Structure 1
């Protein structure tokens, strides 16, 4: 009886595995850190500021590259931590120079403890509001383990990142609010004549407070307050911001039914282009001080 040989099949499997391996090395880079052609393309853009609105489902996490400094606002829910860490590592982040927590709700604080543990941290800021949850405890322990003080974030603060690049903290302007959402700082990143406005889950109450301060709000890109909820995005506020783009951080089919169709119509009525992470994935902009450039389709 003729002996069956499996050598050709074995050689075929080895060849196929080699080709797959080469593909992943070329397209994703070092094993464990995804380096796609899209990431390489975004990294190749020469601009002093890039802002990444990460797609993590129903939650906020925004990464900013500002004149060589790495800044993070929020870290989604606990289940989002691995996605955020992987995203940051694809952009070669080893240190987060500034980390901001807008407020202690789960879809903003949940992944913060793990993210803080994964990177070298410079400074950490949060409003003066605690909610003692498991996520809050994990975050506090991570800060203690790294001996990083929690600094209080208040309206009127400002961070400078070289000539013509500043991060202005416009709120909170009270010692206390009934709703934790309203501790969310409204922050304006100014890059020459460009600006980005970050809002956390701030509601109309805070929008009106910031309007009354008389501070400049005009911005090219607005992060939709409270994921496009009807609690926020008042007409008066939108008129002051007058954005060309509005980014909504939302998860497909989320339990809160956000963004609100009424708010999306309001965005359309002011002529802004509305971008949803649930439709587009992570959304990235570059700014050079003269123009804001969308880097994702």
Structure 2
């Protein structure tokens, strides 16, 4: 019986050709994704009336605040989508429940190298859970009392402005302020700064910012206008729920003609190569 080699070879060649095409397409897709991810990503996660912000470069991951304890899965989805397996820094702006709530989950499920926070204590279930999680993870936080930097290379950096005083009446006024500079663009993350802390911010910072995150979930304070005049932002971010949005705030932003993004409309992604800024919501 004569066996046709030609008939057997052709199907094999066709399969190999298809595999090679698929591999080529996958490689191109992966390369394109990697190219898109070069630069800085700042992701303002939709966690309702709370804060959680991912700051990411090609070889650096930092999470600023962790929302409430109910926001763990929302934060996890964003971290997974951005291929985050470990955090170089976890920054806790202050100790309110809507900023540290999911920290125990983060410490249990991700490798966290460093934690930065202001130095004070708060009598709450969330703070107790946080302290227990710290002990379990074996991490000693850095209690920031002086301004400090994280260098990102090529002149890019993250700068921290700690609260100036040892004691405040409002927990929000302990807010650690984060300033990010990447190429031509800059971001100011203000925590939940109230009037007293905003007065300090105006003294501490200098120059204009591309993006300012409005403090305290859009809770309007007259002092906010001075902060915005000092920073002259091109865009503002408000991390809040729709029912918490104050009309005075939207009027303020409209009067200053600042385009603004609200996280209750969905997570906001800001991506830059140092020159162009792309905004996705």
TM-score, length-normalised on structure 2? 0.84
Give 1:241 deviation, angstroms.
1.0
What SS class does the counterpart of residue 138 from structure 2 fall into? coil
Please list every run of 5 or more consecutive structure 1 residues that lacks an aligned counterpart in the other structure: 1-36
Aligned to 1:68: 59
Q: Is the 1:225–1:233 Cα contact (8 Å) retained in structure 2?
A: no
Equivalent of 1:210 in 184, 187, 201 = 201
Aligned to 2:173: 182
In structure 2, what is the Cα distance between the partners aligned to 1:75 and 1:153? Answer: 18
Equivalent of 2:267 in 276, 282, 286 = 282
Greater helix proportion = 2
In structure 2, what is the Cα distance between the partners aligned to 1:267 and 1:146? Answer: 42
Q: Is the 1:71–1:96 Cα contact (8 Å) retained in structure 2?
A: yes
Q: Is the 1:59–1:107 Cα contact (8 Å) retained in structure 2?
A: yes
In structure 1, what is the Cα distance between the partners aligned to 2:34 and 2:213? Answer: 22
Equivalent of 2:256 in 270, 285, 293 = 270
Aligned to 2:232: 242
In structure 2, what is the Cα distance between the partners aligned to 1:233 and 1:288? Answer: 33
Aligned to 2:211: 221
Equivalent of 2:72 in 81, 87, 92 = 81
TM-score, length-normalised on structure 1? 0.79
Superposition map of 1:125-204 within 5 A: 125-204=116-195
1:49-68: CA deviation from partner (whole Å, max 9, x where unpaired)? 10000011111000110341
Q: Is the 1:247–1:276 Cα contact (8 Å) retained in structure 2?
A: yes
C-alpha RMSD over aligned residues:
2.0
Please list every run of 5 or more consecutive structure 2 residues that lacks an aligned counterpart in the other structure: 1-28
Aligned to 1:293: 278
What SS class does the counterpart of residue 234 from structure 1 fall into? helix
1:33-92: CA deviation from partner (whole Å, max 9, x where unpaired)? xxxx9xx99766243210000011111000110341110011111111122123212221
1:113 aligned onto 2:104: yes
Superposition map of 1:17-96 within 5 A: 45-96=36-87
Give 1:233 deviation, angstroms.
5.5
Of 146-155 and 110-119, the range deviating more from structure 2: 146-155
Q: Is the 2:92–2:117 Cα contact (8 Å) retained in structure 1?
A: yes
Q: Is the 1:183–1:202 Cα contact (8 Å) retained in structure 2?
A: yes
**Structure 1 stretches of at least 4 aligned residues deviating more than 6 Å after TM superposition:** 40-43
Greater CA radius of gyration, 1 or 2?
Answer: 2
